[in-house]
Amino acid sequence: MSVPFDQLDGHIWMNGEFVKWSEAKVHVLTHGLHYASAVFEGERAYGGEIFKLTQHTERLHESARLLGFTIPWSVADIDNACNQLLAKQGLSDAYVRPIAWRGSEMMGVSAQKNRINLAIAIWQWPSYFDPKQRLKGIRLDLADWRRPDPRTAPSKSKAAGLYMICTMSKHAAEAKGYADALMLDWRGHVAEATGANVFFVKEGRLHTPTPDCFLDGITRRTAIDLAKRRGIEVVERTILPEEMEGFEQCFLTGTAAEVTPVSEIGPYRFEVGELTTTLMNDYSAEVQPKRAAAE
């Protein structure tokens, strides 16, 4: 059995200080626990450098703004703390998790006077999906839960509360032997997996849902850029579930998932084709720190 996350070694950056991993605690009556007033990021370090760190930190600030609070550390402050912690943890390839939340000064729906806390944890996390499954394409179930109407939830924020139905959907899928689940939106359109964006391939083109009610992932945008560099047309549009019957390839993108091929979504089947493999390799090359030519 793996070590529980609260028992890992090292330090966590918390409200401006490095504290021992085991001592990074919050009170049981913290507002973020009871009312999901928390936002977070997921980042990866490759070769000692955190990929697109500033973009992630800027999104963390924007997520907090959408939830109605301001993080009292600047983007530069947080970037610096992440880099310092990565060095302090002695890790080169690692996962980085900043999280900001309302504290315990007020308990109730209203919490304007609560302190805004910020913590950063870094640990080793090699592959989000089973490596053997990933190479041949993972299998996805079709989730019962749907991404909500953006008029009912702050869908542009990477907010903790929005992941409740993701956890429920992933648990249900895993109980049936799948690796993950594909979620539709409230209109019945293809949306995303529980923690990653989705792409499809047909006749040499990439098709991906328009992110109007779910997160426009940084890895998603990276994959689109990589495809365009190769002259591959990318079509962002509404995708109906029945259209999956005609797609040839499928893959997921996300900081944790990176670029992961999909072989199956419910009754629909896909091949792990050349375009998917090419973008997997391009992404792997993109995230590696660029060394000076003299080296």
pLDDT higher at 294 or 16: 16
Question: Do both 136 and 268 map to the same domain?
Answer: yes
Strand 234-237 to 205-209 pairing: parallel
Residue-number span of the structural domain to which 99 is assigned = 5-123
Question: Do both 172 and 68 map to the same domain?
Answer: no
Please check the confidence at residue 293 and state whether its pLDDT lies above 70. Answer: no
Task: Say if 78 falls within a structural domain.
Answer: yes
Q: pLDDT tens, 255-277?
A: 999 999 999 999 999 999 999 99
Instruction: Please give, one letter per residue, the 3-state secondary structure of 161-173.
Output: HHHHHHHHHHHHH
Task: Say if 279 falls within a structural domain.
Answer: yes
Question: Do both 186 and 99 map to the same domain?
Answer: no
Task: Say if 254 falls within a structural domain.
Answer: yes
For residue 125, give the nearest of 181, 52, 43, 6 by alpha carbon. 43
Q: Which residues, at least 6 apart from 157, have a Cβ–Cβ distance to it below 8 Å?
A: 39, 62, 63, 64, 66, 67
Residue 291 has phi, psi (to 5 degrees) of -90, 150
Q: Are 205 and 255 in contact (CB under 8 A)?
A: no
d(CA 250, CA 270): 6
CATH of the domain at 181: 3.20.10.10
Question: Do both 97 and 31 map to the same domain?
Answer: yes
294 band by pLDDT with thresholds 50, 70 and 90 = very low
Question: Do both 104 and 247 map to the same domain?
Answer: no
Task: Say if 147 falls within a structural domain.
Answer: yes
Q: pLDDT tens, 30-41?
A: 999 999 999 999
pLDDT higher at 103 or 134: 103
**Last-in-domain residue among 123, 147, 180:** 123
**Last-in-domain residue among 90, 123, 156:** 123
Question: Do both 107 and 152 map to the same domain?
Answer: no
Q: How many Cβ atoms sit within 10 Å of the Cβ of residue 96?
A: 25
pLDDT of residue 132: 72
Question: Do both 100 and 212 map to the same domain?
Answer: no
Q: Which residues are catalytic?
A: 158
Question: Do both 118 and 168 map to the same domain?
Answer: no
For residue 249, give the nearest of 282, 284, 280, 203 by alpha carbon. 203
**Last-in-domain residue among 123, 149, 173:** 123
Mean pLDDT of the chain: 95
The CA radius of gyration of the chain, in Å to the nearest whole number, is 19
CATH of the domain at 63: 3.30.470.10
Question: Do both 144 and 83 map to the same domain?
Answer: no
Task: Say if 17 falls within a structural domain.
Answer: yes
Question: Do both 44 and 87 map to the same domain?
Answer: yes
Question: Do both 98 and 198 map to the same domain?
Answer: no
d(CA 109, CA 116): 15
Strands (E), 58-125: 94-102, 116-123
Task: Say if 295 falls within a structural domain.
Answer: no
pLDDT of residue 224: 98
Task: Say if 161 falls within a structural domain.
Answer: yes
Number of domains making up the chain: 2
Q: Which residues, at least 6 apart from 268, have a Cβ–Cβ distance to it below 8 Å?
A: 244, 245, 247
Residue 276: is it exposed, middle or buried by C-beta count within 10 angstroms (0-12/13-18/19+)?
buried
Task: Say if 294 falls within a structural domain.
Answer: no
126 band by pLDDT with thresholds 50, 70 and 90 = confident
pLDDT of residue 125: 84
Question: Do both 266 and 161 map to the same domain?
Answer: yes
